[in-house]
Amino acid sequence: MTDQDTHVVQTTNGRARSGDGRANGDVVQSVDRALAIVELLLRSEQPLSVREVAQETGINRTTAHRLLASLHHRGWVERAHGDGGYRPGLRYLALVRSALGRRDFVDEVRATMERLSRFSRETVHLGVLDHHDVLHIEKVDSPEVVGVSSRVGTRAVPHVTGLGKALLAAGPDEALEAYIAQARQRGEAPAPFDAGALRTEIARAREQGYSIDDGESSAGIRCLAVAVRGVDGQPLFALSLTGPSGRFTAERVEACVPEMLAAARQLTAQFGGDIAPEISDGMS
C-alpha cells in the first residue's frame, strides 16, 4: 500500500490512526473527534443521543458531550424536538448546499476518467442511480478507432449494466430489495428478471469490489465497473470501462481490475468516504 492509499480512521479510544494502522502525528485529536461525530450523524437515519454518539465513535462520553455542545454552538448540529438526540444542523446543510452549487464534481472526476481511458484504451462512463434507472452523465471516448457508441443523458436498466450492478452492490440491502420489488414488475430488460441470480451477483460484486456486464445490456459489449462512496457510506456514482468483447476480453478485464479498484479508492477518499472493506481487500 502506498502513502496515497492511507486514510484516517477512528480507533476505539478516539486516537487517530492512518489507514495502515500507524499513529498519525499530524492529526489534531479534538478536530478529528468532532469530524468523526459529524460524519456519524450524517450516516445515521435518526438523531443520536450523547451516549449513542460516544458508543459509536469510541469517544469518552464527557468529551462527546463537550464536542456536541461546541458543534451545536456553531450550528453544525442541532437537537431534534428540543430534548431529543442530535442531528446535522440547518447551518451545516445550508453550507453544504452552497458549496455544492459552486462545485461540479464531474470536473473533479474527469482527470481520473481520462487516465483510465488511456490505460484501458476503452470508453469510460460515469453514471448515477436516478430512481430505478442508471443515468449516464459523462463519458470519455476510447482512443481506438473502433469503440462503443453511447450518449450522455441516456438511461439503462441497472441489473443488466456494470454501472447499475456496481451501484446496487455499494448500497444497502434495503435499497437492493426495493429495486428487486419494482424490477419484477418492470419487464423491459433484455432478459427475464431473476431476483435470485441478481442477489448472487450483487454478493459477488460486494466481495470483489467491482461488477461486470458481459453482453447483458448489449450483445458484443463487455463492461467493468466500480462504485464511489460519499461521506455517508452511500454510493455517489460509478465508473465503468466499456469496450467491444473481441478487444476488451475477459483477460483484459481482469488486468484492468487493480487500476479500477485504485481509482475507486482514490475518489472515495477524495469525496470524503471511508474505503469499503471489499475495495481494500481487492487491493491487497
| Cell triple for 190 | 433484455
Q: Among residues 66, 81, 99, which one ends one of the domains?
A: 99
Residue 192 structural domain: 105-282
AA letter at 24? N
Residues 113, 242, single domain; the answer is yes
pLDDT tens sequence across 44-55: 878 999 999 999
pLDDT value at residue 188: 54
- Reading phi first (left if > 0) and then psi (alpha if -120 to 50, else beta), residue 22 is in beta
What's residue 82's pLDDT? 61
Q: Are 86 and 109 within one domain?
A: no
* 3 state SS of 278: helix
Give yes or no: residues 132 and 16 share one domain. no
Amino acid in position 191: A
- Count the domains in the chain: 2
- pLDDT for 153-197, tens place per residue? 788 888 888 999 999 999 999 989 988 888 877 765 555 678 888
Q: pLDDT tens across 206-235, in order?
A: 999 999 998 777 788 999 999 999 877 889
CATH number at residue 49: 1.10.10.10
Residues 67 and 110 reside in one and the same domain:
no
Q: What is the pLDDT of residue 13?
A: 39
d(CA 5, CA 66): 32
The count of other CB atoms within 10 Å of the CB of residue 11 is 12
Residues 119 and 78 in one domain: no
pTM: 0.64
> What is the secondary structure of 241-272 as a DSSP string?
EEEETTTS-HHHHHHHHHHHHHHHHHHHHHTB
Residues 23 and 53 in one domain: yes
CA angle 175, 176, 181 (to 5 degrees): 95
Residue bearing the bigger pLDDT, 130 or 284: 130
25, pLDDT greater than 70: no
